[in-house]
Structures are given as structure tokens and as C-alpha cells.
Homo-oligomer: A and B are copies of this chain.
């Protein structure tokens, strides 16, 4: 295995700090990310803000992209695949209710900053896709597959492939077009107006 193929996760290294301390470090990384952006976020700054040694940070996470991706992963309040209300409308409603507006504004800032950063950093892009984007998309697909299995969505519905693009796209497009962040109300209207009709629900 070449260096480029080294997995970004390294579970064996993860037991050296407590879960509480890990959550504290992740929160500090996200605060820094919102304050200064990905490019300006340094391991030195993380170490200073969290009163850790850089050696601890590197031992625990391996690299800055991995640390950022892990921290982002931990902001997700619920895995979409675990939402199972028995109807696709119910599932999307729970998805919206699990995020409050403040959280969505922060998510918007993060997605925007990262959309920029992933272009500059292939390592961040790889870590983000493996740790954040792919699991969320997989969870969404599990949720949608159950709707297909129940007969709510046609198995060959072409919009099934585009639901992740619709949701992520809305978070980035709204601030550009209307100068505001996505909130529950917008997301609910957007899903009703676009996602459900496209899925034939």
C-alpha cells in the first residue's frame, strides 16, 4: 500500500484520550474553522486553543484534514440511515427537526468554507468524502431505499440519484442568491416544492 492509499482512519490510535476530551477537541476545531477558515487553521492554533500538545493531536488524528473531517463528522446529530418513521415524508420531517436553525447556519458556513478548501487540498477532500460525505449519502440512500421498498418511490425514479446534490446545493446556493442561511422553514419548503415532486411522492 502506497502512502497515498493509507486509510485516513486509524482506530487503534483513538483510545488514548477520553471521549469527553475528544468531543472538546472536536468542538474547538469547529470553532476555529468557523473563525478563520480551513486554510488558516493550523495545528498550532488547535493546540493553543485546546491546551494540547501538537504531538497529541498528530498521534490522535494523524493530520489536519483527518482532524477536521472527524470534527465535522461529530457535528452530525443523527445518521440519516437510522431515521425510520415508516414514510418518506415522516423521515424528511425528522431529518429537518433534528437540526435547529443555529446549527444549520453553522453548517452553511462550514460547507461554504469547505467547498473552497477541498479544491485547494486533495487530502481534505479525501478525508471529508470518506468520513463525512459518503456516510451521509449512504444514510440518505438507506432512507430512500426503504421508501422504494414500501412502494412510495418508483425504483427507477431518476431523481433518486440527485437527492444529495439537491440538499447540499440548497445549503450553498441560498446564501448566494438571497443572502441568508438555510433554516428549517426554507428546507421544509424546498423539500416540499422540489424533492418530493421529483421523487413522485
Map CB proximity to B onto A116-131 as digits: 1 under 8 Å, 0 otherwise.
1011000001000100
A155 on the interface (CB 8 Å rule)?
no
Partner of A112, one of B119, B133, B166, B193: B119
Name A13-58 residues within 8 Å CB distance of B. Answer: none
Chain B neighbourhood of A113, CB < 8 A? 116, 119
A158, B116: Cβ atoms closer than 8 Å:
no
A158, B193: Cβ atoms closer than 8 Å:
yes
Chain B neighbourhood of A158, CB < 8 A? 189, 192-193
Partner of A173, one of B119, B129, B161, B172: B172
Chain B neighbourhood of A114, CB < 8 A? 176
Question: How many residues belonging to A are interface residues under a CB distance threshold of 8 Å?
Answer: 38
Chain B neighbourhood of A200, CB < 8 A? 197
Name A112-155 residues within 8 Å CB distance of B. Answer: 112-116, 118-119, 125, 129, 133, 137
B194, A159: Cβ atoms closer than 8 Å:
yes
- Summarize A's interface: helix, strand, loop or mixed: helix
A164 on the interface (CB 8 Å rule)?
yes
In the complex, A168 Cα to B158 Cα: how many Å? 20
Chain B neighbourhood of A165, CB < 8 A? 169-170, 173-174, 177, 190
In the complex, A176 Cα to B125 Cα: how many Å? 8
- Shortest C-beta distance, A176 to chain B (Å), equals 6
B115, A119: Cβ atoms closer than 8 Å:
no
**7 A-B pairs in the complex with CB atoms less than 8 angstroms apart:** A111-B176, A115-B115, A137-B177, A159-B193, A159-B194, A169-B169, A172-B172
